[in-house]
Structure formats: structure tokens, C-alpha cells
Amino acid sequence: MTTHGASLIDVARLAGVSTATAGRALGGYGQVSERTRERVLAAAAELGYRPNSLARSMITGSTNTIGVVVTDVANPFFATALRGITDVTSPAGFEVLLANTGGELSSEQRAVTVMSEKRVDGMIVAAARPGEGAHLKHAMDAGVPVVLIDRQVSGVPDADSITVDNDHAAAEAMEHLLELGHRRIAVITEAGGQLARVRSGNRRRGLFPSAVRLRGYVNALDAAGLAVDSALVASARYDRSSAYDAMVRLLDLADPPTAVLCTDNVLASGAYRAAQDLGLRMPAEVSLIGFDDEPWTTLVRPELTIVEQPTYDLGARAGRQLLTRITATGHQRPQHIQLRAKLVARGSTVPR
């Protein structure tokens, strides 16, 4: 018997049941005896039948797909988080649709719209602009659960969020440097232009992780009784060359820093290269701390002291939370889960 292009009618005929019964047996809904279900499944296997996923979704209301939207899929941080997501959602029968926005709000808006139109069962989003959440609220109002990862977003108070406690992470890095005797401590950050803003409050919603880490830097200096020197707050774009230039500017000051904190892994790699190219002896002349335990951080000499984020667990927790939302009935209060990072001291930091 030919199996090419087998239809549900073909399966029903071979199994000796009605088309409706075959559909219920294959779709896992409605009342079907176990004996009949086995007969239908055997017929489907013999014919090589593949169900029409769109038709099934119209019956069950589920496509068994979730959307994941991130700003930079090439960043190992998001790649690791994505593995955590899929390790949780795949065994539950869900496939992942991935969108990379490049940090552009318009790309994120298009991705969210397309995924909603494709009837994904839910979305996990690392927002390109945490201050802009209208498109996410629109998706949630249309019945699509959204879990925010890595950063909270303004305008979507009912969205769950899984983030790292970035205030604590930066404070722990600063406490390490302060305990080593450093007092001229600089920071390289994408949020340098938000220094006044982060000093005026303690909110997280609407802020990038880099801005929250900058606040942790400021609070640690305040707690130590040290003034914040704006000359030591170096702004950089999210790329290595910009961080390289920022490090050069810091080290060219009349009174340069003895230690530098970089608020993410990309900036740390650029700063490290600048110190090398300038011929500085690290850590004798400058100590350096970065974020995330990437492979390169232990291949260089000295090895880089880092703040290790629970990146895989961040993704896994987001996956579990989304599955909870997908299967939940009735209104439930949003969950805001914060995970703790930890300092890993290595050779790039020493007592002053």
C-alpha cells in the first residue's frame, strides 16, 4: 500500500474507524478506547502519516511551540540561556522559534507580532528596550503568556520575570576590590550616560542590566564612604572596540584607576586587550573584573576575575515558568524571580 501523502481518511479506513475517531486518537483529545487508539496509531505508523499541525492546533488550541526573542544570539550568555530553555521545554513537547533582534526595538516588535500570528503558546523575551513594553502587553492581552528574561520591562506588570540580582552582583565585585585596598576604581559600562538616573532610585523595571550594575557600583562606593568620580565612569557601546577605547581613556588619566570593573563580558574582553596593548602589567598596575565565565577568561594570563552569572539556570527557570503559565487556569499573580551571581577571584585582581 502506498504511504505517500497519506491522509487522515486513509488512516481511518485502514484502522476501520471513522475519521472523527481517528482524529481524536491521534490528537490525544476526546474519548477513545485504548484498543482503538492503538489500532489507529498502528495504521498511522504503517502509512507514514504525519498530522497537519495547523489543523491540530485549531482543535486543541495549542501549537506546541514557544517563541524566544533575544538581542544577540552570538553572545555566549544568550546561547547558554537558550540551552537551558530548550532542555526544559523540549522534553515537555515544545519546539522553539528563535528570533535575534540585534538590540533593535523594531525587530523585536516584528518578531513578537509574527510569533503571535503563528499562535505560539508563549514567549520568553530579553527585551531590546526595557523601557518599551507596549507590544509585549498587546501580545499578553491577546492571550500569549510572556516571561521576561535578564531584564524587567516597563508597561507589562503582569509578565513574569527571571533575572539576576545585578545590584548584588556588582556590589560583590566592588567589595572584593575594596577589600584588596583599591580606592580609585573605574567602571566601563553601556549605561555611563545614566549615572544621575541610577543614583536617584532603586527600581529595576525598565533598566538594562548594565544600568543596575552601575547602581551597584555607585552604592558600593557610597557604602565605603568614597565619592563617585564621574571621570572614572567610562561609557562604551556594546562592542569590544568601544570598550578598548574606554579603557585607554581611563588609563590615560592624570590619576588613572588602580582597578576597573566591566559590566559585561564583551566590554571586559576589549578592556583586557587594551591593557595588554598598552604594556601594563596586570594586575600589578591595574586590576580587572568582568562578567560571565567565558572560556577566554581562563585562557589569558593572568586569568580574569569574573562575576559568574547562573546563565543556564536563568534559561531553565524561564522555561519552567513559561510552561507553568501555559498550563495554568485562572488569573495568577506575576512571579519575579531573582537569581544570585557569585564572584570567582582569579589572577587579574590583587591587593593594592
Strands 342-344 and 305-308, bridge-based pairing: antiparallel
DSSP string, 126-184: --S-TT--HHHHHHHHTT--EEEESS--TT-TTSEEEEE-HHHHHHHHHHHHHHTT--S
Q: Which amino acid is at 31?
A: Q
Cα-based distances in Å from 84 to 29, 69, 243, 308, 327: 30, 14, 29, 16, 20
Q: Which grid coordinates are listed for 169?
A: 552582583
User: What pLDDT, on the 0 to 100 scale, is given for residue 53?
Assistant: 56
Residue 302's Cβ-count burial label (10 Å; 0-12, 13-18, 19+) is middle
DSSP string, 6-50: --HHHHHHHHTS-HHHHHHHHHT-S---HHHHHHHHHHHHHHT--
Q: Do residues 126 and 107 make contact, with C-beta atoms less than 8 angstroms apart?
A: no
Domains of the chain plus CATH, in order, are 8-60 (1.10.260.40), 65-164+311-339 (3.40.50.2300), 166-309 (3.40.50.2300)
Cα-based distances in Å from 126 to 70, 135, 148, 150: 5, 13, 6, 6
pLDDT, tens digit, for every residue of 238-290?
999 999 999 999 999 999 999 999 999 999 999 999 999 999 999 999 999 99
The 8-class DSSP code of residue 309 comes to: -
CA pair distance 238, 75, nearest whole angstrom: 11
| pLDDT less than 50: residues of the chain | 1-3
Burial annotation 35-71 (CB, 10 A radius, 16+ → b, else e):
ebbebbbebbeebebeeeeeebbeeeeebbbbbbbbb
Q: Which grid coordinates are listed for 37?
A: 487508539
Q: Which residues 6+ apart lie within 8 Å of 67 measured at CB?
A: 96, 97, 98, 99, 111, 112, 115, 118, 120, 122, 123, 124
Q: Which residues 6+ apart lie within 8 Å of 130 measured at CB?
A: 151, 152, 153, 154, 205, 206, 207, 208
User: What pLDDT, on the 0 to 100 scale, is given for residue 142?
Assistant: 93
CB atoms closer than 10 angstroms to residue 129: 19
CA pair distance 136, 112, nearest whole angstrom: 7
The rounded radius of gyration (Å) of the Cα atoms in the chain is 26
User: What pLDDT, on the 0 to 100 scale, is given for residue 28?
Assistant: 66
CA pair distance 102, 73, nearest whole angstrom: 8
Task: Identify the CA nearest to 130 among candidates 110, 148, 115, 111.
Answer: 148
CA pair distance 218, 206, nearest whole angstrom: 19
Using DSSP's 3-state secondary structure scheme, residue 290 falls into: strand
CA pair distance 14, 47, nearest whole angstrom: 9
Task: Identify the CA nearest to 345 among candidates 281, 313, 302, 296.
Answer: 302
- Quick one: CA torsion of 293, 320, 164, 209, rounded to 10 degrees? 90
For the chain, the farthest-separated pair of C-alpha atoms sits apart, in whole angstroms, at 88
